[in-house]
Chain A
Amino acid sequence: MTQRILEVNNLAYSFDTYAGEVQAVRGVSFHVDAGETLAIVGESGCGKTVSVQAILKLLPEPPGRLVGGSIRYLGEEISQHNPKKMSRLRGKEMSIIFQDPMTSLNPTMRIGKQIVEGIRKHERISRREGRARAIQMLGKVGIPSPERNMNRFPHQFSGGMRQRVMIAMALACKPRILFADEPTTALDVTTQAQILELMHALKQEFNASVVMITHDLSVVARVSQRIAVMYAGKIVETGNVRDIFYDPRHPYTWGLLQSVPHREGDRRQELIAIPGTPPDLFHPPAGCGFASRCRYCMGVCKQMEPPQTDLGNGHLVSCWLLDGRAPKTDTPPLAQRKGVQANG
Chain B
Amino acid sequence: MGKYILRRLVISVLTLWLLATASFFLLRVLPGNPFQTEKLLTVEMQQKMIHYYGLDKPMLEQYVTYMGNLLHGDMGYSMKFTNRTVNSIITSGFPVSAALGLRALAVALPIGLFLGILSARKRGKAMDYLAVLVSVIGVSIPSFIMGTFLQYIFAVQLKILPIAQWKGEAYAILPTAALALALLASLTRVMRASMLEVTTQDYVKTARAKGLGEGRVVFFHQIRNALVPIVTMLGPMVASVLMGTFVIEKIFAIPGLGQHFVNSITGLDYTVTLGLTIFYGAFLVAANFLVDIAYGLVDPRIRIAK
- A residues near B, CB below 8 A? 56, 58, 83, 87-92, 95-96, 98, 100, 103-109, 117-118, 121-122, 153, 155-156, 166, 169-170
Q: Known A107-B301, A108-B228; judge A96-B209 contact (CB<8 A).
A: yes
- Return chain A residues, CB-CB under 8 Å to B202: 98, 100, 103-104
Q: Known A153-B301, A153-B304; judge A103-B211 contact (CB<8 A).
A: no
B2 within 8 A of A: no
Instruction: Identify 7 residue pairs between A and B in the complex whose beta-carbon atoms are under 8 Å apart, listed by A's number.
Output: A58-B205, A107-B301, A108-B300, A118-B212, A121-B211, A121-B216, A153-B301
**B301, A155: Cβ atoms under 8 Å?**
yes
- Return chain A residues, CB-CB under 8 Å to B208: 58, 87, 90
B53 within 8 A of A: no
**A90, B300: Cβ atoms under 8 Å?**
no
Give the residue among A56, A58, A108 with the most B Cβ atoms within 10 A.
A108
Among residues of B, the one whose C-beta sits closest to the C-beta of A57 is B208
User: Beta-carbon contacts of B212-247 to A below 8 Å, as 1s and 0s?
Assistant: 111010001100110010000000000000000000
A181→B209 CA distance, assembly (Å): 13
**B210, A103: Cβ atoms under 8 Å?**
no
Q: Known A107-B300, A108-B228, A155-B301; judge A90-B209 contact (CB<8 A).
A: yes
A92→B212 CA distance, assembly (Å): 10
Please count the residue pairs between chain A and chain B whose beta carbons lie under 8 angstroms apart in the complex: 85
- Return chain A residues, CB-CB under 8 Å to B19: none
Contact residue among B206, B224, B225, B298 (Cβ-Cβ distance under 8 Å from A104): B206
- Minimum C-beta distance from A1 to chain B (A): 30
**B210, A121: Cβ atoms under 8 Å?**
yes
A88→B299 CA distance, assembly (Å): 31
Contact residue among B211, B225, B304 (Cβ-Cβ distance under 8 Å from A106): B225
- Return chain B residues, CB-CB under 8 Å to A90: 208-211
- Return chain A residues, CB-CB under 8 Å to B211: 87-92, 118, 121-122
Among residues of A, the one whose C-beta sits closest to the C-beta of B228 is A108
**B304, A105: Cβ atoms under 8 Å?**
no
- Return chain A residues, CB-CB under 8 Å to B210: 90-91, 95, 117-118, 121, 169-170
Contact residue among B209, B224, B300 (Cβ-Cβ distance under 8 Å from A91): B209
Among residues of A, the one whose C-beta sits closest to the C-beta of B213 is A87
A108→B228 CA distance, assembly (Å): 9
Q: Known A87-B212, A90-B211, A121-B213; judge A106-B221 contact (CB<8 A).
A: yes
14 further interface pairs, Cβ-Cβ under 8 Å (given A87-B208, A169-B206): A56-B209, A58-B209, A90-B208, A90-B210, A98-B206, A100-B202, A104-B202, A106-B206, A108-B228, A117-B212, A118-B210, A153-B301, A156-B304, A156-B306
User: How many residues on chain B are close to A (CB under 8 Å)?
Assistant: 25
A109→B301 CA distance, assembly (Å): 11
- Return chain B residues, CB-CB under 8 Å to A106: 203, 206-207, 220-221, 224-225
- Return chain A residues, CB-CB under 8 Å to B301: 107, 153, 155
A92→B213 CA distance, assembly (Å): 13
Taking CB atoms and an 8 Å cut-off, the chain B residues in 157-216 that contact chain A are: 201-203, 205-214, 216
Give the residue among B210, B212, B301, B306 with the most A Cβ atoms within 10 A.
B210
- Return chain B residues, CB-CB under 8 Å to A95: 209-210
- Minimum C-beta distance from B263 to chain A (A): 46
- B residues near A, CB below 8 A? 201-203, 205-214, 216, 220-221, 224-225, 228, 298-301, 304, 306
- Minimum C-beta distance from A116 to chain B (A): 11
- Minimum C-beta distance from B236 to chain A (A): 22
A98→B202 CA distance, assembly (Å): 8
- Return chain B residues, CB-CB under 8 Å to A104: 202-203, 205-206
A104→B211 CA distance, assembly (Å): 15
Among residues of B, the one whose C-beta sits closest to the C-beta of A179 is B209
- Minimum C-beta distance from A316 to chain B (A): 29
- Return chain B residues, CB-CB under 8 Å to A92: 211
Among residues of B, the one whose C-beta sits closest to the C-beta of A102 is B202
Among residues of B, the one whose C-beta sits closest to the C-beta of A122 is B211
- Return chain A residues, CB-CB under 8 Å to B304: 153, 155-156
- Minimum C-beta distance from A63 to chain B (A): 11
- Minimum C-beta distance from A96 to chain B (A): 5
A254→B220 CA distance, assembly (Å): 48
- Return chain B residues, CB-CB under 8 Å to A108: 224-225, 228, 298-300
Among residues of A, the one whose C-beta sits closest to the C-beta of B205 is A58
- Minimum C-beta distance from B210 to chain A (A): 4
A87→B217 CA distance, assembly (Å): 11
- Return chain B residues, CB-CB under 8 Å to A88: 211
A152→B220 CA distance, assembly (Å): 17
- Return chain A residues, CB-CB under 8 Å to B206: 98, 104-106, 166, 169
Among residues of A, the one whose C-beta sits closest to the C-beta of B298 is A108
A95→B261 CA distance, assembly (Å): 63
Q: Known A117-B216, A153-B301; judge A107-B209 contact (CB<8 A).
A: no
Contact residue among B209, B213, B220, B298 (Cβ-Cβ distance under 8 Å from A109): B220
**B209, A155: Cβ atoms under 8 Å?**
no
A89→B205 CA distance, assembly (Å): 15
- Return chain B residues, CB-CB under 8 Å to A169: 206, 210
Among residues of B, the one whose C-beta sits closest to the C-beta of A88 is B211
A342→B150 CA distance, assembly (Å): 78
**B306, A155: Cβ atoms under 8 Å?**
yes
